[in-house]
Structure 1
Amino acid sequence: MDERVEPLRARQQGTAMETAQRMPGEDDRDAHLFTPSFFERLRRLNRVRRELRRMQLRITQIDWVGAELSVRIERDPAKSLAPLLDSMERRRFRPVDAGVEVAGQFKGVTVRWIERGGPGVGAGRSARLRPGCASL
């Protein structure tokens, strides 16, 4: 059997991650597009997406460029955010034209949304910071 075929066959029988990392003709020194850290970030993002979907919250934007994974959800006043808020770490509030942007860590991903209306919320007004919360 040709000596070049056997290593290729061994590579093809590797795990899905190994297969995604190596293409025929590449060796271990070549750059990898699908690195273990990429897969870990993808797993974390998918876990958060499933949890938010289970809470009936709609994701409108996903940002995973850079060090921070971030998702933006659409705030439906008819739906309670209590399950999300109970699971989040410390939240930050920042006034924006449309209201107040709320952001916090949820299972390793920053979840953001806009709170609209209500007293002290809106353009040109400062949002009140709650105890244990910081400004963005």
Structure 2
Amino acid sequence: MSVTDAPFSVDKPRSPQRPAARRSNFELYSWLFMRLSGLLLVFLVLGHLLIMLFLDDGVQRINFAFVAGRWASPFWQFWDLTMLWLAGLHGGNGLRTVINDYARKDQTRFWLKMLLYVSMIVTIAVGTFVLFTFDPNIGN
């Protein structure tokens, strides 16, 4: 007796009528960004602290003239701008995760995230504005 001769048969399950919902990879990319930006921030921040606090005279030499001389170089502008953007986005992404984990109501979660996004944009925008418009001759 073969399988086809069985007294009963089971129909194949029907295929779904609607296509499967598409999933976003946002959380995956967010997780990956946190790891990569954290690694890069360790390098940038430790380099920043080494230069600002330990080399030459340390913190005693930091004044307006030191910052003006440092930001006269595109290399240091890029270094500080990268550190500002990565720190702002990394911290904001971390706070977004905390809000998602602990805010119970959808409306509370929404407004907390809006407050977070606005503060991130303002902080990064003002920092970027200061870096690019810094005038070392302001006292003259």
TM surpasses 0.5: no
Q: State the structure with more CA Rg.
A: 2
TM-score by length of 2: 0.26
Structure (1/2) with the larger helix percentage: 2
TM-score by length of 1: 0.27
Question: Using CA pairs below 8 Å that are at least 6 residues apart, which structure has the higher relative contact order?
Answer: 2
Structure (1/2) with the larger strand percentage: 1
